[in-house]
Amino acid sequence: MKHKYDLIFSIGQACACSSNLRKNDLQFASYPMDWLFGNDLAGRVQILVSRFDRFIDVSDLEYTYSERSILCDAYHNKYNDLTFNHDFAAATPLTETYLGVRQKYERRIGRLLNGIENSERVLAVYMETPDSGKSKYSESDIVKIHDKLQRAFAPTQIDLLYISPDTKIPHGARRVVLDNSGVKWIVSEYQTKDKSKPSYTPDAHVLAKIFRDYSLNTTFGFKLRRAILKIVANLIPCRKHRRAFRKKYHLK
């Protein structure tokens, strides 16, 4: 039986959690912690329950490195230990790029907090990168983290799905460590077998088998709009423009 939610969103550990939620039709909008790295599950939940206090204050940002492959400069937030590595244009002064980036994150924060407030059932998903090793958390730790999250956003029911790796079990295998009162912890071996990709890359097929137990409540109007957008995307002749359109509207 599928677990149905009004809102499903990623709180980390990195980009792959959100991107795989999107691949499985569980997320259609961008939220604050989708494309960042740094901090851990407990830290990110604290950021969330603080309503993103000092999330991207300019006084907290320090230049870290330049990511040539995506033409971005990465900035680390010293206050919350998050790194913004997809947002700031490379070789451009922070004074010129900061306002636009901040406004973008303010929109994402508002979208998420409003979504939680206006939903009955919400699922927050945290997936460790597959090369991060055995989880440092105990079952009681995960329960306490979830309790903190639930208290902060009551009366909305906000559940937690925590996925962590175990490279000592067969590829694709998984076991449920905890499944109780709105919190579920799944351990799996989900590292990609594609040696050309970085070790932190997950196997999308393995994750799809985990995520197929979940679904997003959507209206008929929303489904109709998605169907129309997919038809429009297929009619765009230029591959570059077609991909950009699909990316903009989070289409497969």
Domain boundaries, the chain: 3-217, 219-252
| pLDDT in the model for residue 220 | 58
| pLDDT in the model for residue 252 | 66
Q: Are 186 and 163 in contact (CB under 8 A)?
A: yes
- Taking 50 as the pLDDT cut, the residues of the chain under it are none
Torsion angles phi and psi, residue 186, rounded to 5: -115, 130
Terminal CA-CA length for the chain: 24
Distance CA 218, CA 122 (A): 13
Distance CA 74, CA 149 (A): 29
| pLDDT in the model for residue 129 | 97
Compute the chain's Rg from CA coordinates: 18
| pLDDT in the model for residue 186 | 98
